[in-house]
Amino acid sequence: MKPYAPLRAAGRALGARTDDRRVLDAVVAGGVVAAATEPGGRAPGLGELLGPLFAGRAAGQAVLVPWTDPLALFERDPASASRLADGWARACAGTPGVRLSVSSPQGTYRGIGDLLRTGRHVVAVSTAAPPTPATCPDWAWPLPVALLPDGLSEERSDLGRRLTARSALWRECVTETAADGRWARAGLVLCRADTASLPPARPTTGPTATVAVGLLEPGRASSGAGTLLSRIAARYGTTNAALADTGGEVAEWLVALLSALANDAPFDVALDRAAAVVGASPPSLRADPRLLDTTRLSAVIARSGVGFSGDPSAGWSRTLPDPRTRQEAPADAEATARRWSRLLREVGHDRHRQPHRVVRTALAVAGEGTRAAAVDPHTVYGLTVWVGRPGREAAGQEPLPTSSFLPDRTHRLRITAVQLHGSPPPLTGRFRDVDLPPVGRSEEAVFTVVSGPPGSSFQVRITVFHRNRFLQTGVLSGTVGSGHAPVFEIDAVVRADTDDLAARMPHDAALALGPDSAGAPLLTTVTSDAVEIRAPADLSGTVSALTAALRDPVERPEEYGDYRSPAYEKLLISLAQSGQALYRGLFGERIGLVPRDSAEALRRAAGISVLAARPGDLLPLELVYDKPLRIGGPLGVAGRLCPEAPDLSDHEDCAARCPGHYQDDVVCPFRFWGASKVIERHVHADRSAGLAKDFALAVGPAAQRGMIEFGGSLLTAACDRADRNAERAWSTAVRLLGADSAPAASWRELAERTRQLREGGEPPGALLLVVHSEKVAAGPARGMPCLVLGTNDQLSLYETLEPLLTGPAEPNPLVLLLGCSTADHRTPLLGAQLRMLEAGAPGVVGTLTPVLARHIVPVAVELMSEIRRLAAATGAGLLLGEALTRARRAALLKGEACALALVGYGDTDWEVRAPRGIGAPGEGAAQ
């Protein structure tokens, strides 16, 4: 299609003396009619075509109509040009106008767009693109924006700071995100339009964006716009792409775009308004016509379900505030947009913390269909389990419309049922695999359970997994012969949202430690093909021996040097022996408690999920050692630490390159599970923040909110008792990690630094805290657990943690809480890491034993440096669990045994990103 061919045809039909405006009216109207005419059918009149569209629109809202080349219409019926020109003026008089979506088999043509924009009653012009892929996210508020993903981090940071300082809309209505990665789901990507900066078009393998906008150099004509738009769209996995001239000031243009969107403008109109504000040429837009109205704020609100009337006892409506009850009256549309963005952010947070589908159970006597009203003695029951809506379920309904990661994806879940009563409980659990559709209830799993004698306990633990990772767990409990029906209660929700399960990394095994009906510990091991239940043997004694050994470097620091020091070799040999005893105590392969296939699956596992049912349960899998050993004994067989390990590039090279791999008198540091496996740990907590049991234990990564962005800000703080021993370690950490300043000496100082960073739009990416833990000794708070910084600055765990952690709905830092057994629940700390997870930290790293700063700070530096190095190498970030495992491995090879005391809590799938400003090993490190 030549841009001016339909214009010349209409001019010929109307006559040489016809006014140019009338000719253009005929072209615009002819294209609208041509797009609405079926092949071989009658062309509709403009009044019957546009009248219903305008009638259904609110005041001030232009209608979106398709437009196609009217050349064939004018050639077939030249007289129609006059009728169409007159009809266009009548049909659009007094209306807000139209937005044209140009359809052409040849692609995008800048010339026809510029021509149609000059027509009367034309508000915006876009080119119709193919349907948006199903994997594209819905437009959302707050708006996830990826700034200049192919540019320098310094350029992105500078632009972000200017926008934060300039625009309240940016601060409150936008969430900065990335354009690629496991959890990246950008609504709007802003990239440079320069073709040299774009990689070749390639199929998108990861998540996609809603719209990608290429920013042109000021005054540059977008020649070859069709090709450039195709490259941009392919790069970011969407069909919706635009080219925009920002007039040389990206921040001003973007603020104008946000302002138009806040005023409920569709995306095509918002692009045109932004260009007008900065005095730039009109944009080129190719988009799925269905997208353009869904970007309006009112459309997003309608999809969210907020403020809609309904049954207050069903689903999400019971947890969401109704905006009509709010008392404030915003003065303008931007204030309204900010208020709605805050509310929708809260809705999104609730959605990720409180499940809209939960475990449900029904107990019936085997062979009968009616639900059991009570538990009778010595009776066989059929227990039906499924995942569905809480309360009464209505088929085909969801309490809050979902925006699924993959809308048509059905997830395969594993449901296990473990009978906790009986003497002893059964040695084998049962599992069923069921499908969970995107909407509605899952398939049902049916289990057989048997009750005991009158007055005995009746308990069955139900757990739901996806890819060997915990989703939810709870217990069906009652008393046999009491006359009351058993009650199912959820103990813990590990993962609330089920929309984006497909993006999560699979684990190879899952371990759950909890009590049986008599309170004795019971370990459930779940692998791909088995569920084994055992009472762990002498677990507490073995764990005590391991933690006591790890304290030796604290008590005799002068004895320890690098990897080849005699004290370090002796310590790792002792840890390996106790770690092997821990393996036997947990899994008992030597005495036949766990089948050999399951034991081998645990050895090969790259990722393991752990859930402890009681805060007092300690399951330090990091210290498990699974290489066969023959050391000591009556013959006094001497052991040795593998001398080859420091020279191996990776632990996977061990079998091929290490001569001691198969020697049972050689201790390999890579065979400790903390150095070879990703271990994800969750613990039931005493809900200090008053959270219900069906509220997720921690914030997990999800679409559009799955990254820990380190930026350039890392804050450190230390207790004096640690800092006096570690001046050189701290100075190295500050230099290596790009920390903004020396360690804070008080909680107030740390809070002030955090507040300043947050107000500047760059919240800290990590908090490195070397603390002391104790209980308050005197006063009204006597006995309360607290953390100590500086000389004696105490922070009670029951106090608010703001602004260090500002709630799970906001970006929060990774917390490295290092010091006096911060991961040991038996200390006075009583689970500080769990409190911080509740408060919104994406992850917390603690220590199993007391450590010296001179030992643990280098390990923390290694962790941060490893994140930096791998993030720079891969370009798409690094998963938190893998980073922690690699850091332990690197630290062990440097002679830092306390690396095995590092224990992570929270989801391991957070993607950690760090710009080039954070140093890697060798960049300024002290020698």
pLDDT, tens digit, 9 for 90 and up, residues 537-577: 667 777 788 888 888 887 788 888 889 999 999 999 999 99
Q: Count of CB atoms within 10 A of residue 310's CB?
A: 12
- Examine the fold and report which residue of 77, 100, 128 is the final residue of a domain before the chain moves on: 128
Q: What is the pLDDT of residue 903?
A: 87
Q: What is the pLDDT of residue 771?
A: 83
Higher-pLDDT residue of 808 and 688 is 808
Q: What is the pLDDT of residue 711?
A: 58
Read off the tokens for 779.
Answer: 């006063």
Q: What is the pLDDT of residue 594?
A: 55
Kindly state the helix (H) or strand (E) to which residue 767 belongs, with its residue range.
strand 766-775
Residues facing residue 459 across a β-bridge: 477
Q: What is the pLDDT of residue 924?
A: 32
- Examine the fold and report which residue of 302, 330, 347 is the final residue of a domain before the chain moves on: 302
On average, the pLDDT of the chain sits at: 79
pLDDT at 426 over 70: no
User: What is the C-alpha separation between 352 and 346, in angstroms, rounded?
Assistant: 10
- Examine the fold and report which residue of 675, 704, 722 is the final residue of a domain before the chain moves on: 675
- Can you give the residue range of the structural domain that contains 482? 358-394+407-504
Q: What is the pLDDT of residue 101?
A: 92
User: What is the C-alpha separation between 422 and 449, in angstroms, rounded?
Assistant: 11
Q: What is the pLDDT of residue 706?
A: 81
Higher-pLDDT residue of 570 and 392 is 570
Q: Which of 284, 338, 360, 355 shows the shortest CA–CA distance to 114?
A: 284
Give residue 615's pLDDT band: very low, low, confident or very high (50, 70, 90).
Answer: low
Give residue 454's pLDDT band: very low, low, confident or very high (50, 70, 90).
Answer: very high
Please state the φ and ψ torsions of residue 853, each to the nearest 5 degrees: -60, -35
User: What is the C-alpha separation between 188 and 175, in angstroms, rounded?
Assistant: 10
| Burial class of residue 342 in the structure, from the number of CB atoms within 10 Å of its CB (0-12 exposed, 13-18 middle, 19+ buried) | middle
Give the residue-averaged pLDDT of 224-243.
Answer: 86
Give the residue-averaged pLDDT of 37-46.
Answer: 77
- Structural domain includes residue 136: no
Give residue 655's pLDDT band: very low, low, confident or very high (50, 70, 90).
Answer: low
How many folded domains does the chain comprise? 5
Q: What is the pLDDT of residue 399?
A: 34
Q: What is the pLDDT of residue 635?
A: 58
Give residue 306's pLDDT band: very low, low, confident or very high (50, 70, 90).
Answer: low
Q: Do 576 and 660 share a domain, yes or no?
A: yes
User: What is the C-alpha separation between 788 and 798, in angstroms, rounded?
Assistant: 14
What percent of the chain is predicted at pLDDT more than 90?
22
Which domain CATH number covers 792? 3.40.50.1460
pLDDT digits (tens, 9 = 90+) for 726-736: 555 666 666 66
Give the residue-averaged pLDDT of 324-342.
Answer: 67
pLDDT digits (tens, 9 = 90+) for 59-80: 567 888 899 988 888 888 888 8
Q: Do 709 and 829 share a domain, yes or no?
A: yes
Q: Do 383 and 284 share a domain, yes or no?
A: no
Higher-pLDDT residue of 127 and 557 is 127
Give the residue-averaged pLDDT of 761-790.
Answer: 80
- Structural domain includes residue 333: no
Give residue 398's pLDDT band: very low, low, confident or very high (50, 70, 90).
Answer: very low
User: What is the C-alpha separation between 425 and 668, in angstroms, rounded?
Assistant: 37
Q: Is the pTM of this model over 0.85?
A: no
Q: What is the pLDDT of residue 149?
A: 84
Q: Do 464 and 591 share a domain, yes or no?
A: no
The answer to whether 135 touches 185, Cβ cutoff 8 Å, is: no
Q: Do 266 and 184 share a domain, yes or no?
A: yes
Q: Count of CB atoms within 10 A of residue 538's CB?
A: 13
Of 3-12, 164-173, 743-752, 816-825, the one with minimum mean pLDDT is 816-825
Q: What is the pLDDT of residue 2?
A: 63
Q: Do 846 and 759 share a domain, yes or no?
A: yes
pLDDT at 403 over 60: no
User: What is the C-alpha separation between 452 and 316, in angstroms, rounded?
Assistant: 39
Among 34-48, 297-311, 645-659, 687-701, which range has the highest average pLDDT? 34-48
Please state the φ and ψ torsions of residue 775, each to the nearest 5 degrees: -105, 145
User: What is the C-alpha separation between 85 and 861, in angstroms, rounded?
Assistant: 72
Sheet-wide strand order for 521-526: 531-534, 521-526, 509-515, 607-612, 678-683
Q: What is the pLDDT of residue 596?
A: 65
Q: Do 269 and 373 share a domain, yes or no?
A: no
pLDDT at 446 over 80: yes
